[in-house]
Amino acid sequence: MKSLYTSIGLFAITAAAEIFGCYTFYLWLTLKRSAVWLIPGMASLALFGWLLTLHPTAAGRTYAAYGGVYIAASLAWLKWVDGQSPDRWDFLGALICFTGAVIILLPHLKTITAD
């Protein structure tokens, strides 16, 4: 079970690295902030790519399951960084996607929880 919690934490850190890295480009291109933001952004995106290699299932399955986690993390970002509350449609869409991610990973839990 410890490995399952480790995998969940790894997905969360992976999502944070990707969202932050992409957000720095948003700051630069859309909000006209300094290009200096791209330095930590590119480092964060490199970290994101490396973190994806640490997941215990096949790459395609990891990317598919990660999509559900990414959506949930994006809605958290919407709330805490953008200052906008997700609406019921955001939550419904996230629930559907996260359910899909769980369905994708469910048959492979033995691989994830193997100690």
Q: Which residue has the tokens 């994006």?
A: 74
CB atoms within 10 A of CB 72: 20
Residue 16 contacts residue 73 (beta carbons within 8 Å): yes
Q: Where are the domains of the chain?
A: 2-113
Q: What is the pLDDT of residues 39-90, one digit of tens each?
A: 999 999 999 999 989 987 788 888 888 888 899 899 999 999 999 999 999 9
Q: What is the per-residue pLDDT for 2?
A: 64
Q: Note the Cα 59 to chain centre separation in Å.
A: 15
Whether the full predicted model's pTM is greater than 0.85, yes or no, is no
